[in-house]
Structure 1
Amino acid sequence: MKSNRMEAFSDGVLAIIITIMVLEFKLPEGHDWKSLVYLFPKVLSYIFSFVYVGIYWNNHHHLLHMVRTMNGRLMWLNLLLLFWLSLVPFTTAWMGESHFAPTPMALYGIILTLASMSYWLLQRSIINQHPRDSHFHTIGRSWKAKLSPILYLLTVLTAYISPWVSGFFIVLVAIIWFLPDRRIEEFLREK
């Protein structure tokens, strides 16, 4: 199987994840601008999650262009990543409903930690398919991949101290990953 089939499936799942998140919005009871104020926590949690799903989609797209041979291991690791990302709408809705209470924030951090670990496993598996290609191993040594789980764990730990501090770490990781790994783009140009 070619990687474009797995990429198309993943794109569909990620599109559904975003759709589910936006469907969580309920119409306000009033008909004026003031009625929208109570939606602010839900909108903010939606923005967090939309950006995260977009970051995963973008980086996943770049990563799958490096795949030369598809195998069952890659397919299962990809499904593991999609599993954790499919839980993002639940935690997004819970954060918004609870106005960023500690437990929903902690669970959001846990889900993001597990998604990042799954992405790392998928990346490692793709890199390991090419043991003699130094370009692949250079890509695997990303400071982003090493720092992100630490920041996600800080998200979980600080959720019970201050949801705002926890949110800061969520935003910080998003900023770090906003641009895809340029080394992948360079590698693809050289290919």
Structure 2
Amino acid sequence: MIPFHRLALPALVALTLAMGPQLASAESAFAVEHPVVAADLSKSKQTAPGLYITAADAGRVLADHPNVALIDVRTPSETMLIGHPTLAAANIPSKFVDPELAFDPKKGVYKMVDNPDFVAEAKAWLASDAASNVDTLLIMCRSGSRSAAAIDKLVKAGVDVTLYNVVDGFEGDKNEAGVRAVNGWRNAGLPWTYKVRDGFWPGQK
């Protein structure tokens, strides 16, 4: 017999996504200094679970909760050239940049494409010894939108862990000058590095 929660999950996810910005963020299991409310977030940063955390609070949570892991879903190039949190457990990219596909002159960016192995790589990491005591993931990207989309993919795939979106990501939001200097992991003064350790991207071929 299929458990009730497996049957109910798709309907719950659909209802949550439909209500979107009307929902406040779900009750956090952590004591945080900067609570995040869903209604204050752009739609691109909202997730089905409705659990959110700032990068500044994520640093404190990781230090105090061994059952929590930080997953960086940016591209491997970003983690090497821009840097990544030293506390990140793994880099599991949700998307890649492919300049051969298309260039958006209006936005001034190359098109990003989905990593077709993202969910499989996340599940494999969760099943590994490295995640043996982990039941909660903090998902981080550049500034909170890719991580939100990654979380919803994991929810849809039935990944059974608690999922928080780090809403300001590694680089943070842009200021009036277009510089990512407002918030985020790096601007919070948390430890980070350019050096990529062996096995950081477990799906590397």
Both proteins in one fold, TM over 0.5: no
TM-score normalised to structure 2 length: 0.25
**What is the TM-score normalised by the length of structure 1?**
0.26
Normalized per residue, the structure richer in helix is: 1
Query: Which one has the bigger strand percentage?
Result: 2
